[in-house]
A and B are shown apart, each in its own frame.
Chain A
């Protein structure tokens, strides 16, 4: 796992990954789990991440990361763009637990 997070340059301090917010850790974990279960190849994802970092240089790392993850999943056909949009809307309208 460490070699994969290293290969995509995930922010770390002293070998420890740094997450500013919990969702960032979940996004990274999703990507790791999905590549573990063979949903996509880590190198494909890495290539898209390079593209995402170049395309949006001013965005924080995990925004780039999430964009790359979405793009990779759309490309595999596992998820449709409309699915994500719908789900975002549903969640936004859902009552919050806190």
Chain B
């Protein structure tokens, strides 16, 4: 390779190499696609979303998840951002859960990826424990007065994730479609679906 290639040249060169290798049957295009797929789905909110969708559709799994989330998520083989102990807390018609870390910015990385900036900023960290109802309302989630709010301050090495309520009207949805409905904010507890 000559020095200082521009991006277009490099892209071309990568394509050329791939097409040669495929042509000579050293590689199959589908192999490469599969590896990319694995890379792209390794970490991030999609991991948490898969856990949530599974819990919505499999009551035995959900039961185990709420009893012992650490052990239950092992079957997903998530990599990166290890969680020593995970606790999943369930939102219901009577209870709403919200996760914060007032002392630093502890967050279930392996399931939700990197935390958003607001989660690490002083405004959320200071207010979530003192006026959670107002904070949620400001963030667009108005809960009925009757709904009890439980805030989880991650002050040790235990990490928390919210199991949101399953949205109405998604009874026919497939596991894949359900996974696509779950948002990061719902798994922190600042949104509903």
Instruction: List chain A positions with a Cβ less than 8 A from chain B.
Output: 1-2, 5, 12-17, 19, 21, 23-30, 32-34, 36-37, 39, 56, 59, 62-63, 66-67, 69-70, 73, 78-79, 83-84, 87-88, 90-92
Contacts and interface: CB of A to CB of B under 8 A. Distances in A.
Contact of B1 (A30, A67, A90): A67
8 contacts: A1-B38, A12-B80, A15-B80, A25-B40, A30-B18, A33-B32, A66-B14, A92-B12
Given A13-B114, A69-B17, 12 more contacts: A15-B109, A16-B113, A19-B39, A24-B14, A26-B18, A33-B27, A33-B31, A37-B27, A62-B10, A63-B1, A63-B5, A84-B13
B14 A26 contact: yes
B31 to A, nearest CB: 5
Contacts of B1: 63, 66-67, 70
A30 B109 contact: no
B21 A17 contact: no
A63 B2 CA distance: 11
A28 B33 CA distance: 11
Contact of A14 (B7, B16, B39, B109): B109
A66 to B, nearest CB: 6
B26 A78 contact: yes
A23 B10 contact: yes
Contacts of B17: 27, 30, 66, 69-70, 73, 79, 84, 87
Nearest to A3: B79
A79 B20 contact: yes
Contact of A15 (B20, B38, B40, B43): B43
B36 interface: yes
A37 B79 contact: no
A15 B81 contact: yes
Contact of B35 (A1, A59, A69): A1
B110 interface: yes
Nearest to A89: B16
B12 A14 contact: no
A34 B21 contact: yes
A32 B36 CA distance: 10
A27 B19 CA distance: 12
Given A15-B42, A15-B109, A29 B20 contact: no
